[in-house]
Structure 1
Amino acid sequence: MIQNSLFSKWQMAILMCSLLIGAFVSCSSDGGSSGGNSGSGTIPSDLVVTTEIVGVSTQYPNGNGSGTVKFSITPNNATSYKVVFGDGETIETTTGVFTHTYSSSGTKTYEVQVTAFNGLKYFNISKSIIVFVATTQIWGDEFDVDGAPNSTKWGYDLGAGGWGNNEPQYYTNRTENAIVQGGVLKIITKKESYLGSNYTSARLKTAGKFSFKYGKVEIRAKMPSGGGTWPALWMLGDNIGTVSWPACGEIDIMEHLGNQLNKIYGTLHYPGHSGATGDGSTTMISNAATEFHVYSLDWRADTIKFYVDNQLFKTFVNSASVPFNQNFFLIINCAIGGDFGGTIDPNFVSSTLEVDYIRVYN
């Protein structure tokens, strides 16, 4: 009786181990698809991802340039999907029918990864698509003529007074603070006594010269260094003179703080979300002050997206209830200190924001 009892317990232990191992066995199928068999429910296998690139024709085999792709996943026996579009964007959805718009210009190949879930069970499938995105440049500055910035494109904000953030610098239009040299715009922030201020810098703007509604902005720039520096690449609504701020809206494509090296801010300011309560996100990059990076904005009627080096880090849902559906103008500046710039390094002497180009596309 003792031997039989021990044998039964041994058999039961083997059986339990087999069940536990079986619960975590993965399976795979042809084409690189794979599934996980954990928990209850049926594995949503045999998935097919169908894509329709909008505007495909004999002349445009990869689409009409809008970048919009319609997706359909069948059979639809999954409870949810995770989709990685291959351009830095990901969605989680409960429907197998959706659209996505690619924004990087040119003809590019994207590897789309789809994971279908049914409870704890899942199935993966991937598909490559080639999408054409057409853009037309409507404005830009390559900063390829040495000297003062192009006066047909740029004006200046001048003076001191804190600029609403208790900043100590005086903005000038001198070439000592803003000059084009060697193919880049240099905005130079200096510690110097000037008209009652202890620092000088420059703030360039396209107000009255160029503004636009919706489009893509690309700015290739290298940040200044030094505690207290606060460079910004941003936009304000054309109607600021009549409705004031923040009713005009503000889009900060990029802000960087010398006291928070390599941390990039993307922020929107509007009524109810302005100043310290602005609607923003951040991302960390490497070598912001020693290498050039591309900071970009994709501004549409339904979304506003922020990127660094084509990597998305913020998406804002645009609507008629916010002031981002009118013309905006561009601003480039470097402040120092103030409420956001923070403590100025007592050893600070001078630092330079360098801008290689600014391009605006429709």
Structure 2
Amino acid sequence: MSTSKIAHLISIFFLGINFSFSQVDVVYSDLVWSDEFNTNGAVDPAKWHHQTQLPAGGGWFNGEVQHYTNELANSFVNNGALHIVAIRQPYTSQGFTKQFTSARLNSKFAFTYGRVDVRAKLPIQQGTWPAIWMLGKNVNEDGGFFDANFGTTSWPACGEIDIMEHGITPSRPINYVQSALHTPSSFGNTVNHGGTLAANLGTDFHVYSMNWSPFQITFLLDGVAFYSYNPAVKTPSNWPFNLDQYLLLNIAMGGVAGTINSNFSQDTMVIDYVRVYQNVQADTQIPANFTATLGTITSSSIELLLNGTDNSGSLVYGVTYGTNSTTTAGNSGVQKSVVISGLSPNTNYSFSVSASDLSGNNAANNAIVLSATTTGVTGCSGTSNLAQQGSFSTGYNYAFETLGTNSVKITYELLDTDKVGLVAYLWRQSPFTETQMTNVSGRIFTHTLTGQTPGATLNYGVKFAYANGMSVTPYYQYVVGNNCNLNSDQFSNDKSILMQNPARDVILFDQNTTIQNVKIYSLLGQLMLDADQPQSSLDISSLSSGVYFVLIQSDQKIHKEKLIIE
């Protein structure tokens, strides 16, 4: 091994200590399999298998146009690195002639749970699709290394973990890398994915990592986590990741990677090393310093703050309440927040919390019992199908809830079932900002705003982005700390407030009650005018002719009406 590679190993080791304990749930530290690519020539046949057999029909999946070969020109080791090369050249194999060749390597090593680190430079030319990924050892894919002896399960039931893919997200910049999970509950155009930007993919090495525990799968770029997959309730449909998986390295051409440039001749993925870590040392020491306390309590959730230490670096926490239970993992000496959601308001709950390590050694003070009562609801909620951009086929639920005194939790649930590849972004009206929301489960997304001023008015909507389009809700107003209900049946349609309609320049009111506030919105949901206590008239001369919506707040009611300005 060269001096530079040893130095890099040392730097990565200390970097790993720094990031692993703070960004992944289980730390894996024992190197169990690797290839440092130190011997020039063909790849090590004891570690790698060339997968060259075409699928039925003669073409690879996703419309790809390459032949995978075991030719030295397509995969070789030189100067301490593996080179996988995609080449434009006519090549005939298995009765089919294709115009591009490449290589697809299967590791002859498979494992359950651990961390994978791959340091690589990527091809970035249009039409190239480099990938570092994993498949279940049980996949029944003809030509795969494990297929003959273990291939009992079809894709995607075998599970697929995409550690790194580049070139298949045309809406993203050229240096965007993506990680994804394919399962029976979400495959093909999966919704379980995340990505990040990296500088100079084609000229600089980057470390692509995947940390896989029994509880979650986390993806990292250069030691920084950017996406975790952790379904709350794990089933074979959403979590086929409790069996052995093996590694694949390849460059595909065309298909979903797009049109290949006419002047393309060849491009290369250069891999410095592949390393797999697990925890294999015997552990008989029990966890110590186990504590469990209460954190933030809302009308629908209770936060448990858990901590403890263990020589292995990781702890497993079990929480039982009523007939429900959940298990998660945390790092030794690092406080773990566990939020139990979906609870009822004004209800007392009792939690039994235990701690153990990955070897099953239990903390001496198991179990700690905590009791807490959820708060009443302070917030607004509703259902709508209004859109300021795009449209909704069914609609969405929305909720604004004040947590404590100065935080507001905003939750949206898309009710449309015809939209795939869903991501949600919270839109602030003024000044405009866009923030990605967290996917709680299914089509439910949430984001909590902190540091808000009690009594302040917020104006937020949500953009739902999906395959081939987007739909944006109107901006909804919420007063921090206010307890209200914005369902449609809350709007008053009585005639206690009479308003001149159509109107020109001025709206005249004939009301029996005092009006606290009037808001006028465009049909796209944009707030055009906001007036407090307008008395018997309101100047609208600044508004153009057209159709608007008016919300009039009076005596704890909101009167909604369509307004025509002439």
What TM-score do you get using the length of structure 1 for normalisation?
A: 0.62
- Measured after TM superposition, the shift of residue 311 of structure 1 is 1.2
Matched, 1:200 2:101: yes
Q: Which of 110, 114, 122 does residue 211 from structure 1 map onto?
A: 110
| Closer/same/farther in 2, CA of residues 176 and 313 from structure 1, 3 Å limit | same
1:144 and 2:43 matched: no
Mapped to 1, the partners of 2:61 and 2:19 lie a distance apart of 44
Q: Confirm or deny: 8 A CA contact 1:106 1:134 kept in the other structure.
A: no
Matches within 5 A, 1:158-197: 158-160=52-54, 161-195=58-92, 196-197=97-98
Q: Does 1:358 align with 2:274?
A: yes
Distance 1:173 1:357, change over 3 A: same
Kindly provide the CA deviation profile for residues 202-259 of structure 1, in whole angstroms up to 9, marking residues without a partner as x. Answer: 00001xx210000000000000131100000000001112111000000000001186
- CA 1:189–1:314: 2 relative to 1, 3 Å: same
| Deviations 1:79-104 (CA, angstroms, capped at 9, x unpaired) | xxxxxxxxxxxxxxxxxxxxxxxx96
Number of the residue aligned with 1:275: 188
Distance 1:341 1:314, change over 3 A: same
Q: Runs ≥4 in structure 1, deviation > 4 angstroms? A: 107-112
Q: How far apart are the structure 2 equivalents of 1:347 and 1:237?
A: 37
Change (3 A) 1:360 1:307: same
Q: How many angstroms does 1:176 deviate by?
A: 0.5
CA contact (8 A) 2:178 2:196 kept: yes
Amino acid of the structure 2 residue aligned with 1:358? V
Give the direction of change, closer, same or farther, for the CA distance of 1:172–1:278 in structure 2 (3 Å limit). farther
Partner of 1:257: 167
Flag the structure with larger Rg.
2
Is 1:336–2:253 an aligned residue pair? yes
What is the deviation of 1:261?
Answer: 1.7
Relative distance call for 1:156 and 1:278 in structure 2 (3 A) is farther
Aligned amino acid, residue 194 of structure 2: S
The reply on whether 1:238 has 2:137 as its aligned counterpart is yes
Instruction: List gaps (5 residues or longer) in structure 1.
Output: 1-102, 113-131
Match of 1:289 in 2: 202
Could you report, residue by residue, the CA deviation over 1:137-162 in whole angstroms, capped at 9, with x for unpaired residues? 00000011001000000001104433
How far apart, in 2, do the equivalents of 1:110 and 1:139 lie?
22
For 2:208 and 2:22, the matched residues in 1 are separated by: 24
Matching residue within 220, 223, 226 for 2:119: 220
- Name the SS for the 1:234 alignment partner: strand
CA deviation string 1:51-70 (max 9, x = no partner): xxxxxxxxxxxxxxxxxxxx
Identity %: 42
* Structure 2 residue matching 1:356: 3-state secondary structure: strand
1:210 is paired with a residue whose SS is strand
**Pair 1:287–1:107, CA change in 2 (3 A):** closer
Matches of residues 89-108 of structure 1 in structure 2 within 5 Å? 105-106=16-17
Contact 1:179 1:186 in 2 (8 A): yes
Residue type of the partner of 2:228?
A: T
Q: For this pair of structures, how many residues does the alignment match?
A: 238
How far apart, CA to CA, are the structure 1 residues paired with 2:22 and 2:77? 41
Please state whether the residue corresponding to 2:109 is helix, strand or coil. Answer: coil
CA distance in 2, matches of 1:245, 1:257: 23
Amino acid at match of 1:325: N
Q: CA deviation at 1:105?
A: 3.7
Partner of 1:317: 230
Matched, 1:345 2:261: yes
Question: Can you list the C-alpha shifts for 1:174-206, whole angstroms capped at 9, x where unaligned?
Answer: 110000001000000000000010000000001
Distance (Å, rounded) in 2 between the aligned partners of 1:358 and 1:202: 16
Give the direction of change, closer, same or farther, for the CA distance of 1:205–1:289 in structure 2 (3 Å limit).
Answer: same
Name structure 2 gaps, 5 residues minimum.
1-13, 141-151, 279-566
Q: Distance in 1 between matches of 2:191 and 2:138?
A: 19
Summarize the Cα distance change of 1:111–1:350 in structure 2 as closer, same or farther, 3 Å threshold.
Answer: closer
- Bigger relative contact order, structure 1 or 2 (CA pairs below 8 A, ≥6 apart): 1
**2:189 match: secondary structure:** helix
- The residue number in structure 1 matching 2:244 is 327
Measure the CA separation in 1 of the matches of 2:103 and 2:20: 41
For residues 201 and 20 of structure 2, what CA distance do their matches in structure 1 show? 28
Following superposition, the deviation at residue 293 of structure 1 comes to 0.2
Q: Does 1:156 align with 2:50?
A: yes
Contact 1:107 1:133 in 2 (8 A): no
CA distance in 2: counterparts of 1:232 and 1:134, whole angstroms:
23
User: Which structure is higher in helix share?
Assistant: 1
User: Per the alignment, do residues 134 and 230 of structure 1 end up closer, same or farther by CA in structure 2, a change over 3 Å counting?
Assistant: closer
Aligned-pair distance for 1:277?
2.4
Secondary structure of the 1:165 match is: helix
Is the alpha carbon distance of 1:281 and 1:192 closer, same or farther for their aligned partners in structure 2, counting shifts above 3 Å?
Answer: same
